[in-house]
Amino acid sequence: MNKINSVCPYCGAGCKINLCVENGRIIKAEGANGVTNQGELCLKGLYGWDFLNDNKLLTARIHEPMIRRQKGADFEIVSWNEAIQYTAKKLLEIKEKYGAKSIMCTGSSRGTGNETNFVMQKFVRAVLGNNNVDCCARVCHGPSVAGLQETLGNGAMSNSIADIEDSDCLLVFGYNCADSHPIVARRVVKAKQKGAKIIVCDPRKIETAKIANQYLPLKNGTNMALVNAFAYTLIDEDLYDKDYVSRYTEGFEEYKKQLADYSPEAVQDIVGIPAMEIRKAMRTYAGAKTATIMWGMGVTQFGQAVDVVKGLSGLALLTGNLGKPHVGVAPVRGQNNVQGACDMGVLPNMFPGYQYVTDEKTRKKFAQAWNIPVEQLDPEVGYRITEVPHLAIEGKVKAYYIMGEDPLQTEADLGLVRKGFEALDFVVVQDIFMTKTAEQADVILPSTSWGEHAGIFTCADRGFQRFEKAIEPRGNVKRDWEIISLLATEMGYPMSYENNEEIWNEVRALCPLFFGVTYEKLAGLAHIQWPCTDIEDKGTPYLYSGNQFTTPSGKGQLFATPWRAPAELPDADYPMILSTVREVGHYSCRSMTGNCKALASLADEPGYVQVHPDVAKEAGIGDQEIVWVESRRGKVMSRCNVNETINKQAIYMTYQWWIGACNELTQDNLDPVSKTPETKYCAARVIKI
């Protein structure tokens, strides 16, 4: 039996894993002693590899390139040559007819690696000639990136996953770590065991709330009001670090003015938390020697998410909880390589290494490296994936090349997304499974999966880690970056790489932040956090050492913004709030975990809707009964999960089900800065069938 060094592909915790291989098949997975997981794995890490053994009868893997020559026709299996030539010709025709900006692409935050994402954004910028490349960070932690870049200078977790357990206080805000990152949740439990004070802010009494010293069950959609009241309290009660604020921050006087209406007493009815509880939480947070704020999509999937992120970082700045061990701000990224996709420039405004596309010097550097005229690199910021349905309907986007994403399952308001797809002339899907989006494609390019190729992932704490190939792929599939390179070459830009390391060295040469992270240094269980700027550098476990922020002035920026109510409030017809949540046994659109027997057995179709016992009783609905869940955008069938840990005003659904897809109901009110949809809040109702 061979033990292959890998990284779990199911969340940003980045657990190191050994895939045990016998006779070309994976027979089990074991936790390896990685920096973030120390030998532990959750259920997804332990049992999420079944589909790699690829029993064609059981899985939905795609094994051959396919073309659908006309809308409504069947797919036709074709050779790789034909698939690449057909795709290249169509893309060139569309570019010629409608202009470079008419083509949109995605990178992938899932099982494919950093090298692939680098090659994809290079294809978009150097071959298509636009910046229309994005990833699912847009629908999850896009607001964390945008908010933290503005306040602190880096849009990433400032500290390390391993460091969380040594913090004296954890403020866990809108973050259900037990279900989304179980191994990070273990760190929270360990922190508690070591004596840390845990404060949890969440409308649902999530698992972490059960071990919290203080639980604040705020009303859905009131994050900004509560964060403002927290900041008000720190200033009002003189709990903030005046010396730190005067030396290392800017904007305090204006910040204080903006907070004037947000005393805990003024907002207690808005947020549903007694003023004394709000004040108590901040006395605990500010009184701790070291404190960390952790958040998840309970913060970011709102129309005012960027403002809330800026507000949370303000709490850390007020109390000096940055730039040293055991403190910080921790937006814990969801998908395993969403940090990596952002690092590699799968963003419409940045080249790899967080270098702005609007900066001429940067464009010259990339143009020279890629051997193209600088004019070929678009100086304008590209489109975001959440804008695509609207742009397609308006006729501005005509072709969509989607790698390892499933927008027809995972994006808000699927009715709108479908209309957008219907308006497109050409859709290319590069994936490992026949997803909802692949079913609608004109061309399908089948790729290798995690386990079948090697690469580098970046976990949520900026840590680069290598994963190796465990088994040979079984179908007529290719590595993602090989497919993109073939397509680029066919479109007139010769692109070829021998191996992953060659691509990675190109990344390093172009990105000062990552230059010191060599393949060699990443061997085995290594975990190297950026910035890592030279070969001797061991990486950066915490950002902003010496309180040097990477903002233009070098100082932390304080911002407070008035609270805005969510876009669609409950009313007489739709009296409940619908919020999306996580299912512990499944990942993303469930294409991978849904094809693993052990995980599929944990939770199956149709999905479930969590309903408070009083609401269920009033509607005459029993536990496990099939019900209709409806919003202004549609209705789906779901299984009622009568659940006393939730609040009475809201119902909760996970987005991982094909039957009972909650995104048929959600709405796409977008944060004005990050363009992230408000999938945590819309009006809905539950009806007995």
Binding site for ligand SF4 (CB under 6 A): 8, 10-11, 13-15, 37, 41-42, 44-45, 181-183
In this structure, the strands spanning 608-611 and 576-581 are unpaired
Q: Please state, in angstroms and rounded to a whole number, the distance separating the CA atoms of residues 26 and 432.
A: 18
| 250 backbone dihedrals φ, ψ, rounded to 5° | -135, 150
- CA-closest candidate to residue 18, choices 470, 465, 340: 470
- CA-closest candidate to residue 296, choices 249, 328, 329, 255: 329
Nearer CB in complex with ligand SF4: 180/319: 180
Nearer CB in complex with ligand SF4: 232/457: 457
> Least distance in Å: CB of 31 to ligand SF4?
8
Nearer CB in complex with ligand SF4: 46/615: 46
Q: Please state, in angstroms and rounded to a whole number, the distance separating the CA atoms of residues 83 and 484.
A: 12
| 577 backbone dihedrals φ, ψ, rounded to 5° | -95, 130
Nearer CB in complex with ligand SF4: 45/323: 45
Q: Please state, in angstroms and rounded to a whole number, the distance separating the CA atoms of residues 400 and 404.
A: 13
Nearer CB in complex with ligand SF4: 188/216: 188
> Least distance in Å: CB of 493 to ligand SF4?
36
- CA-closest candidate to residue 5, choices 527, 524, 530: 524
**Residue keyed to tokens 């797809």:** 421
> Least distance in Å: CB of 7 to ligand SF4?
7
Q: Please state, in angstroms and rounded to a whole number, the distance separating the CA atoms of residues 632 and 671.
A: 20
Nearer CB in complex with ligand SF4: 160/319: 160
> Least distance in Å: CB of 185 to ligand SF4?
8
Q: Are 303 and 220 in contact (CB under 8 A)?
A: no
In this structure, the strands spanning 76-77 and 608-611 are unpaired
Q: Taking CB positions, which residue lies at the least distance from ligand SF4?
A: 45
Nearer CB in complex with ligand SF4: 182/407: 182
> Least distance in Å: CB of 343 to ligand SF4?
18
- Bridge-partner residues for 293, per DSSP? 171, 329
> Least distance in Å: CB of 33 to ligand SF4?
13
- CA-closest candidate to residue 117, choices 467, 480, 528: 480
Nearer CB in complex with ligand SF4: 44/527: 44
User: Could you give the 3-state DSSP secondary structure of residue 415?
Assistant: helix
Q: Are 460 and 161 in contact (CB under 8 A)?
A: yes
Core vs surface per residue 259-268: b (16+ CB within 10 A) or e: beebbbeebb
What tokens does 403 get?
A: 């790698």
Nearer CB in complex with ligand SF4: 10/426: 10
Nearer CB in complex with ligand SF4: 437/588: 588
Nearer CB in complex with ligand SF4: 41/306: 41
Q: Please state, in angstroms and rounded to a whole number, the distance separating the CA atoms of residues 494 and 485.
A: 8
- CA-closest candidate to residue 339, choices 160, 196, 86: 160
What tokens does 237 get?
A: 């009660």
Q: Are 252 and 558 in contact (CB under 8 A)?
A: yes
Nearer CB in complex with ligand SF4: 226/581: 581
Nearer CB in complex with ligand SF4: 10/86: 10
Q: Are 139 and 411 in contact (CB under 8 A)?
A: yes
Q: Are 412 and 679 in contact (CB under 8 A)?
A: yes
Give the alpha-carbon dihedral of 643, 645, 651, 655, to 10 degrees.
-90
DSSP 313-356: HHHHHHHT-SSSTT-EEEE--SSTTHHHHHHTT-BTTEETTTEE
Nearer CB in complex with ligand SF4: 42/528: 42
Nearer CB in complex with ligand SF4: 16/95: 16
> Least distance in Å: CB of 602 to ligand SF4?
13
Q: Under 8 Å CB-to-CB from 249, ≥6 apart: which residues?
A: 317, 555, 556, 557, 558
> Least distance in Å: CB of 172 to ligand SF4?
16
> Least distance in Å: CB of 337 to ligand SF4?
11
DSSP 647-661: -TTEEEEES--STT-
> Least distance in Å: CB of 44 to ligand SF4?
4
Q: Are 428 and 445 in contact (CB under 8 A)?
A: yes
> Least distance in Å: CB of 587 to ligand SF4?
7
- CA-closest candidate to residue 357, choices 376, 377, 343, 338: 377
- Bridge-partner residues for 456, per DSSP? 466
- CA-closest candidate to residue 32, choices 14, 49, 52, 12: 14
> Least distance in Å: CB of 13 to ligand SF4?
4
> Least distance in Å: CB of 177 to ligand SF4?
9
Q: What H or E segment, with its residue span, contains residue 292?
A: strand 291-295
Q: Please state, in angstroms and rounded to a whole number, the distance separating the CA atoms of residues 143 and 673.
A: 8
> Least distance in Å: CB of 603 to ligand SF4?
15
Nearer CB in complex with ligand SF4: 319/595: 595
> Least distance in Å: CB of 599 to ligand SF4?
10
> Least distance in Å: CB of 598 to ligand SF4?
13
> Least distance in Å: CB of 41 to ligand SF4?
4
**Residue keyed to tokens 């007694």:** 274
Looking at residue 56, the DSSP 8-state letter turns out to be T
Nearer CB in complex with ligand SF4: 11/273: 11
